[in-house]
């Protein structure tokens, strides 16, 4: 059905008449006149001209005003009532954007990619599957930033994750600050259904809060943290002596990540390649949801541009007629 967001604007309907009625008419400049002995000879022709020439532009102007007023009232089409299942879970993703995430030790669709690209690919699918959860996004490097507050809009969360890049939040790694920010944003929520998924490939090298201190605070607030350590354990690199094997994950502080998960009742996962990372998100996808009421809404589609377009078309027509009348 059609509804109006601002129906009270209908009271402006008589505004042009009120302006015409109570405002003084502008004084026009004096023009040359023809003196005639009998005025009665011009009465009929003058009234006929006024009737045919002035009336229909006036009615067009009235129609244009009606369309303009209708557009101002913001008409919109309300669709059928839609129910969205709501699990009640508040889920925050914290993704590391430090310089080490540019290490290309993952393979995706047959080509070697860096850790952040693989994370975006797998986490994006995970976000799409979390129907009914409120999802937020924290990006951290040298500092932690709330990129997306908790929302049902999974498309926006995935888009802003895809638009992130290495170094956006600095080159260092502030794991403790990321946890502290998540606690701050989730503190006012129900303590039985708050989850933080923290993904990093290094150790805490920056920030004002130590990771274990932040984990203690999260535990007191009832925030469960799942930590994911990213990075291959073995990688072939080319050197002056030929190909050799190296461990690109020497900086990964697994001990701290395990302690964070244990303190908060979560779990630590190790993602050495794309397959393991995808498997981890599948496991996280099986978290038991908390039952809640369904979220109901009606999809809205704005219609104001239709009457607004008609009003502009009529106004343009009246201006064109006035212009050509002056030329003729």
Tens-place pLDDT, residues 3-18: 888 888 888 888 888 8
Task: Return d(Cα 286, Cα 270) in angstroms, integer.
Answer: 18
* Least confident residue range of 78-92, 157-171, 222-236, 301-315: 78-92
Task: Return d(Cα 134, Cα 190) in angstroms, integer.
Answer: 12
Task: Return d(Cα 274, Cα 278) in angstroms, integer.
Answer: 6
Q: Per the confidence metrics, is the pTM higher than 0.85?
A: no
pLDDT at 220 > cutoff 80: yes
Banded pLDDT at 34 (limits 50, 70, 90): low
Output the CA–CA distances (angstroms, integers) from residue 227 to 30, 195, 267, 299, in the order listed: 86, 11, 7, 37
Query: How would you classify the pairing of strands 268-271 and 224-230?
Result: parallel
Q: What is the CA radius of gyration of the chain?
A: 34
Banded pLDDT at 320 (limits 50, 70, 90): confident
Q: Is the separation of the CB atoms in 148 and 127 below 8 Å?
A: no
pLDDT of residue 217: 93
Strand partners, 301: 77
What's the residue count for the chain? 328
Task: Return d(Cα 261, Cα 65) in angstroms, integer.
Answer: 65
Strand partners, 225: 196
- Give the phi and the psi of residue 189 in degrees, each rounded to 5: -90, 170
Please give the DSSP secondary-structure letter assigned to residue 130.
-
Residues 6+ apart with CB under 8 A from 319: none
pLDDT of residue 38: 52
If phi > 0 it is left, if psi is from -120 to 50 it is alpha, else beta; for residue 196 that is beta
Please give the share of the chain, as a percent, with pLDDT higher than 90: 22
Instruction: Map out the domains of the chain with their CATH numbers.
Output: 2-22+41-79+298-327 (no CATH), 84-284 (3.40.50.410)
pLDDT in tens, 184-204: 988 866 556 788 999 998 889
pLDDT in tens, 235-279: 556 656 556 565 566 778 889 999 999 999 999 998 887 888 888
pLDDT of residue 94: 94
pLDDT at 231 > cutoff 70: yes
Banded pLDDT at 305 (limits 50, 70, 90): confident
């Amino acid at each position: 059905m059609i509804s109006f967001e601002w129906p009270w604007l209908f009271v402006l309907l008589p505004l042009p008449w009120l302006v015409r009625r109570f405002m003084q008419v502008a004084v026009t400049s004096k023009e040359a006149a023809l003196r005639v002995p009998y005025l009665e000879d011009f009465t009929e022709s003058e009234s006929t001209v006024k009737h045919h020439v002035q009336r229909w532009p006036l009615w067009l102007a009235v129609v244009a005003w009606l369309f303009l007023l209708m557009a101002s009232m913001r008409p919109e089409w309300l669709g059928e009532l839609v129910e969205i299942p709501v699990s009640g879970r508040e889920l925050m993703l914290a993704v590391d954007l430090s310089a080490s995430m540019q290490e290309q030790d993952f393979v995706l669709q047959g080509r070697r990619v860096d850790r952040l690209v693989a994370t975006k690919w797998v986490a994006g699918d995970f976000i799409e599957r979390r129907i009914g959860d409120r999802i937020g996004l924290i990006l951290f490097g040298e500092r932690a930033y709330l990129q997306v507050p908790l929302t049902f809009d999974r498309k926006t969360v995935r888009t802003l994750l895809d638009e992130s890049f290495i170094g956006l939040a600095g080159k260092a790694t502030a794991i403790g600050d990321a946890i502290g920010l998540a606690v701050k944003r989730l503190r006012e929520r129900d303590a039985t259904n708050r989850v933080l998924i923290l993904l990093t490939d290094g150790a805490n090298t920056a920030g004002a809060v130590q990771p274990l201190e932040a984990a203690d605070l999260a535990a007191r607030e009832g925030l469960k943290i799942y930590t994911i350590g990213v990075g291959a354990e073995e990688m072939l690199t080319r050197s002056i002596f030929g190909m050799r094997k190296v461990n690109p994950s020497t900086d990964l502080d697994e001990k701290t990540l395990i302690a964070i998960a244990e303190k908060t009742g979560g779990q630590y996962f190790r993602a050495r390649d794309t397959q393991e990372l995808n498997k981890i998100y599948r496991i996280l996808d099986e978290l038991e949801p908390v039952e809640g009421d369904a979220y109901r809404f009606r999809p809205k589609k704005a219609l104001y541009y239709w009457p607004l377009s008609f009003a502009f078309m009529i106004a343009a027509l009246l201006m064109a007629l006035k212009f050509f009348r002056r030329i003729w």
